[in-house]
Structure formats: structure tokens, C-alpha cells
Amino acid sequence: MKKDLKLLVVFLIIALQTAAQLPLIPYPAHVSIKDGSFQFSNKTKLLYDSPLLASMADAAAIKWSAASTLQIESLEHRNGTIEQSVLLSLNQPFDDELGMEGYQLVILNANVVLSANTPAGILYGLQTIGQLLDAATDAKISCATIVDFPRFSYRGMHLDVSRHFMPVSLIYTLLDELEQHKMNVFHWHLVDDQGWRIEIKKYPKLTEVGAWREDRSDLHWNDRPLSKKDALKNIGGFYTQDEIRAVVAYASQKNITVIPEIEMPAHVMSVLAAYPELSCTGENLGVPPGGVWPITHIYCAGKEETFVFLENVLTEVMDLFPSRYIHIGGDEADKTNWKKCTHCQKRMKDEGLKDEHELQSYFIHRIEKYLNAHGRNIIGWDEILEGGLAPNATVMSWRGEEGGIAAAKMGHNVIMTPGSHCYFDHYQGDASIEPLAIGGYTPLSKVYSYEPVPKELTAEESRFVLGAQANHWTEYMPVDTHVEYMAFPRLAALSEVLWSPKESRNWDSFARRLPFQFVRYAKRGINASKSAYQVQINAAGASGAQGLDVSLSTEIPGTEIRYTSDGTEPGANDKIYNKALFINNTTTIKAAGFSNGKQLGAATSRLFTIHKAFGKALKLSNQPGEQYKANGEASLVDGVTGTVNHNDKNWLGFYGKDLEAIIDLGKTETLHNVWIETLHNSSAWIFAPREVTVSFSEDGKKYSEAAPLNIAPCDQSRNRQTIAAQASVNAAARYVKVIAKNHGQLPENHPGAGKDSWLFISEIVVE
């Protein structure tokens, strides 16, 4: 294994030298590569000129020694030579260009000097040296001058430990990785409906009751009913105050601020299971074992005891977390119970509030006032804008960027974390071969493409964008290794977005450096995803021919792709892809990325169907939605079936409408089978049709109806299923009419209950 890694590193270094780059992520602001190299040896000393740097110098010496199999000693530097040494030096006077987190690194043949204004800058410079040493052959690093500093002050990662409790060992692992990636915020989501995870001395039932729930992992997350009172509560956990203090102290050594999130007024059923009197109804609905929607069982905003409770909790939270910010949630609060609650309605009348949105604003304002009085500020999800934004609040924009834009225009600080680019609970590869996720599609390259400053903001308004963060919601991440799989390497992409200058970011450059990052992950035992190497299989109509041109690609340029066309798994001896494949009969293509004869992740597979309706004229009675029209009507007979990703440009989506398609085969054909490919993805409001019928005609006027197509069984709470509706027929016809009935309104337990559903169709196959 070590020999293979060393050979790979040598190959990668040659590739990067050709491109005049260093193997660093995130890439520094300014790099000047020089001739020569500095050789680490057993004589190398790691010197520091301030006692403030002693502990990090000791830690770096141990880490570098392990990486290079050398014995590197750390010592305080007073005077004298620094030959064959690495010197850490705090600047006198302050260098404005470097700021509070920047550093300058000068690597010469004889020595290395790392200087910064603060210990934080030294810490980040040490990560750069460490990355160079990780990628070095024979413990030798290239001479260079690096001047580096971050673009954004807030570079964060969020982890939800409520939906699935995570061991404290994972928190330490993530803090180590955040340090390596030059990230400086860990947003700890400690409270939600499914579990309370922080010990509060004044309210012991929060952890005695609220931290535990019934284990219903036998059911899909959204299929799990509320537990009965006598159900065994055997899954969960919480962090003691001693554990939290230790985590916060450890993070501080790595220049990482830990921001706790204490949700309010919603996402608190775990609290109300312990103290039901804090709700409007007084009901004890237990700690939910799975998804809950709508979120109506929330804190009562009319009872004074609610605010007494929260102030007492926040007092203990502030004692544990010295962070300037406390995150108070504020999202997805359904006001149904508030509308019926006499306490809440009296509060509204007494305070002169016109509606329940203003009541939520009152709630948030009141909590902010308490925290401000104790020297803290609040962060909330963008719903805290509703009813009026609290005076000193920072907005975390997740429902797109609109909330962040509005807040910045009002002069409020903003942290960007839109679901489109920063939700790392979304799929990052082909959903049919990826672990179950909540939905969405956020591949590595999409994360890298993110620009945190919206174009709608002026230069002055842009100053309020502090940065961005990656969110890890754990409904579908039950264990720590799964969290790692979803986080890495996407966090590497976001780290470069937030650290490196906008103008220097380049996907091809990042992709060339990424293999070094995978080597680092492997050395550190991180379960990093290789989804970026998955092969994407796409097809287009072949010019002048009755067939398809199929192209194969990966996110990572230059990946060796091997494939089969007989449905078998591709191996190291199968064909190498180098040009588009022409297909003129029904074919299954399977392909995978390879490196040095080893497969990089699971193979992807696509079925292409060349059938009697392929490329024929087709007309629709109803038109698809503008955002889901693929390549128009012709997409339904182009031989390409869609994947479970409804955004893959192969689906036609009909909102609240039926599909009615008429295909002209051009001549009378003997027909034996008709089937359609449809999709079910409840989280995206997409439901399989309730009925599909097919009929035939010789003249396009009079149609004879065959039996309805049999629709494969569908569990409506499940996400992302392709479903075939098919029927065997025996007919001679020129025209084929297919009608697929829209499911209709969304079910009562759906977040969009009462609204129309989508119907998605990718192909109508006539055989």
C-alpha cells in the first residue's frame, strides 16, 4: 500500500510540476515557485520565536515526523543560525496585507521561514507546509515564496447531531479536518425534533427524556409514525458539559469557533416531550423517531415560562460556548397552534402584533435582546426575516440566496448556505449507486462553482457577506463514516471557494490537485467519496443515422474510462473510451473510471432503447414545465431513459397536468409491447401516474384502446424511483396515443399538501 501511494505521489508531482503548481488545497493567494528544494532530515529543527507558538510547533513536529518517518524536534529560537531549520515568527510590526489569518512562507534551500501577524496565521502556514510534506518524495519540498490570506472571514461546516447522534470522536476528527482545510467555524446543530443533545443542569429531563427515541430504523425516515407512550426509547445520546468544554477548547487551539444551535420556536419536539407545558397544547407527543411535517408542535410564544426556560438554557449554553454567535434556528415554524392558542393571541393583542409572523419576530427579538445583554449576537435561518428582522441579527441564507440578499441590503451580516450548492446531504453522484440521501444533486464541481457574493449586491453591500458554510443534515447519515463520505472531498472544494481569490479559482487546476487530497484522506483514515470519478453517460441523436452517439465523461478531466456494451461490469482489461460510441440497437452501457489498473468507485449504467417509435414525430396536448422540458417533445422518443436524478435533462415534467402524447410511426407497424419510464420522488413533489392507458389508430382519428398499462408498485414516501408502466399488446397501427394521469394533489402528510404534484416521463417505448 505504501509503495503504491509513493508511486502515485511521484506521478502526481510530475504532473503538477508541468502545470507549475503546488499540491495545495485550498490554493494560496500568491505563489512564486523557485528552483531548488528544502530537504527535511533528522537534523531539521522546528523553531519558534514566541511562547504563543510553542504548542502548535510541538504538534506540527510530531505530525511531520510521522509523515516523513523522521525525528523533527521543536525548540524555542532565541538567537543564532536557522540553517536546515523551519522558523515560525510573529511579525513585528503588523503586516496589513496578511491580516489576522494570513501568513508568508519562504522556502529556501537552506531554511524555511513562516511569518504571520497572529498564531492563527502561523497555524494555517503550518497546514501548507504539512500538505507539501505529505506530497513530497524523500521529504523534499520545492523552494517557493507564498503570501496567503483568506477571502472570507467565515468558513464553516455545520453538523446535525439530532437526527442521528454522532460520537464525540467524530467531532474531533472533523475539527482536525477543518484545520487541514483552513476552515474556522464548526456549527453544531445540537437541538431538533428528533433529539436534544446538550446537557443542561437546570433541566435534566432534556437529556433523560429528550435525548432518546424509539429505534424505527426498520422503516424509511418519512414512514416512521410517532411513538406510543410505552415504546422502548433505545436510540440516541447526548454530550456532557465536560465533553463540550473539551471540544470547544480543542477547537480553539485550531482557530475554530464552535457555534451552538439551540432551535426555536420550532424543531423542538424533543424539548416538549420532556416539558410539554412549554407548548400551546400541553400535549406530550414524544420524541419523533423520524420525519415530522408540518412542524406545528412548537414553543408557545404567549407563555412567560417559555422565555424563562429559554433564558435559563441559554445561560448554561453561553457558559459552555464563548463564541460571539449563538444560532437560534427560527426556521419552518408552522403557526397553526399559535392561531388557536389563547396565550399567543393575547400576546399578539398586548404587543400590538398584526399576525403570527410578527409574533415570531417578537419571539426572536426578545431572545436577541437577552443574548445581546450578555455580549452575544444571534444567527438565524432566513425565516427570521419574516415579520421584521431583529436589530443585530446575522442571517444564514439557506432557501436560495434571496434572504441573504435582502439582509445584506438592510445592512445585516449574512452567511450564505443555499441548498443548491452547500447542502452536503444531497447526492453527489449517480443516486442509483450512491448511499441513500435526502435528494438533490450537488456534485463536487457544482460546489466548486459556487460564488458566495450574489451579483445583485453592490460593492458596499457585498461587505456584509461574511462567507459560507457546508450543511450536513443527518436524516440519512446514520453513522460517522457516512458523514465523512458526504463531507469529503466536497469540503475541500468549498474551502477553496472561501479561502482562495475568486479570480484564481480554476476547476481544472483544482482537479489536478485533488488526487493528492485523496492520498491525504487515505493516510488519515477518512472515508472520502470517489463520486467525482463516476462516469456520466450521455447520448444525443446521431447525425444522419438511426441511432445515438453516446459520450462518456467524469467530473475529473483526464480520468481513464473503461466500458462494456453487453451489460457486464467493466474491468481493467475492457475497452478504453476515447471517442463517442455509435449505438443503433438497444444497448446497456456500463462504465467506470480507472487509475493504474484500479477502479475508482462503482460503475454507472445506462440503457438506451432503439425501438419502433425512436425518432418519430410526436405531439403533446399539454406542454411540460419550462424548467423540465429536456429537449422538447422529441425527448420522449429519443431512446434515452432518465436516471433517478430528475434534473438530468432527460425528463419532461408536467405540473398538475396529464401527459397525452400521440406518436406517428410513419407507417403501419405490428406492435407487441408499449411501456413508459416514469419517476417517483416525493421530496421533489414528483409522483408516479395514477393510471396509464394506450390506444392505437390507423388514421390518427379513430383510436382503439388497449388495456391500461400496469404500473410497478410504488411506496409513496420513498424518494427517487424510476417506475416502468408497461403492457403487452397485439395490434397493427400507425398512430399510438399514450395518456398518463397526473397523481393529483399532494397527500395530507406532505409538506406541500393541497398543491398539485408533478408528473415526470422520460421515454415512451413502442416495440
Q: Active-site residue numbers?
A: 192, 267, 332
The stretches of 181-226 forming alpha helices (DSSP H) are: 205-208
- C-alpha distances in angstroms, 300 versus 222, 237, 272, 473, 550? 26, 26, 10, 26, 58
The three cell numbers locating residue 393: 441579527
- C-alpha distances in angstroms, 271 versus 162, 189, 256, 366? 12, 15, 29, 20
Which residues have C-beta within 8 Å of that of residue 276, sequence separation ≥ 6?
Answer: 282, 283, 284
State the Cα–Cα distance between residues 275 and 620, nearest whole angstrom. Answer: 57
State the Cα–Cα distance between residues 26 and 495, nearest whole angstrom. Answer: 6
Instruction: Please tell me what DSSP assigns to residue 744.
Output: -
| Sign of the dihedral through C-alpha 536, 643, 604, 610 | negative
CA 144 to chain centre: 35
β-sheet bridge partners, residue 669: 733
β-sheet bridge partners, residue 205: none
**For the purposes of burial, counting CB atoms within 10 Å of the CB of 157, is it exposed (0-12), middle (13-18) or buried (19 or more)?**
buried
Please choose, from the candidates 188, 50, 65, the residue with its C-alpha nearest in 3D space to the C-alpha of residue 123. 50
Q: In this structure, how many other beta carbons lie within 10 angstroms of the beta carbon of residue 418? A: 21
For strand 103-107 and strand 140-148, is the pairing parallel, antiparallel, or unpaired?
antiparallel
- The single-letter code of the amino acid at 221 is W
For strand 575-576 and strand 560-564, is the pairing parallel, antiparallel, or unpaired?
antiparallel
SS3 state of residue 747: coil
The three cell numbers locating residue 232: 422502548
696 phi and psi angles, rounded to 5 deg: -130, 155
